[in-house]
Chain A
Amino acid sequence: EPEVTQTPSHQVTQMGQEVILRCVPISNHLYFYWYRQILGQKVEFLVSFYNNEISEKSEIFDDQFSVERPDGSNFTLKIRSTKLEDSAMYFCASTPAPGNTIYFGEGSWLTVV
């Protein structure tokens, strides 16, 4: 079965450093998402992306965050200057069309020290 793949699985970074989390959505999917889960808290929506632009973003997704689809396969989340509170599991997800199942990746653990 096709999968959403994410790299790295775990990254440790120093506060203030830039981080890029990478995702390869399922190949025929058109809608892409990032979610995050801080340890012990709910999974939270960050951003959705369709047709090469952001469709919706949450209050969490401030100017420190950006997303990009640099080529036909990758979908990246960049955190420009990481803060301790950015430590979380980040999930990428994709779906082919509205009403279809949203498929999630295995997540990328980000630890900011």
Chain B
Amino acid sequence: AQSVTQLDSHVSVSEGTPVLLRCNYSSSYSPSLFWYVQHPNKGLQLLLKYTSAATLVKGINGFEAEFKKSETSFHLTKPSAHMSDAAEYFCVVTPFRNYGGSQGNLIFGKGTKLSVKP
């Protein structure tokens, strides 16, 4: 079975400071892992994805995440927060063989709301 835990429901940072959003996963199979972002009144947008290639994954808007199998973690980071980064972020897991296929059973974390102070 797969599951994902986002350790913080709310993270607040100042503009220009680093962002760290934490995610731990549990998966019986080699997982595919994703971060999606949802801005207010917008749909879910893919930030980045890990699918068993390089463990350090770079995404859009300067975000990156590192897959650490030994720690079962996939934390999202950004060196310098921008006001436009304020949104809700979801860590998502699915078994690699199922991703995007006829099953497509993405398993979402509860989300972390990121606030950015000026």
Secondary structure call for the B interface: loop
Distance in Å: Cβ of A8 to nearest Cβ of chain B: 14
A-B CB contacts (within 8 Å), total count: 71
Cβ of A97 under 8 Å from chain B: yes
Chain A residues within 8 Å of chain B by Cβ, number: 29
* A99 CA / B102 CA spacing, docked (Å): 11
Q: Is B104 an interface residue (CB 8 A)?
A: yes
A-side contacts of B36, CB under 8 Å: 104
How many positions in chain B have a CB within 8 Å of any CB in the partner chain?
A: 23
A56 and B105 contacting across the interface, CB-CB below 8 Å: yes
Chain A residues closer than 8 Å to B104, beta-carbon distance: 31, 33, 45, 48, 55-56, 93, 95, 102
Q: Which residues of B contact A (CB under 8 A)?
A: 36, 41-46, 49, 51, 90, 99-111
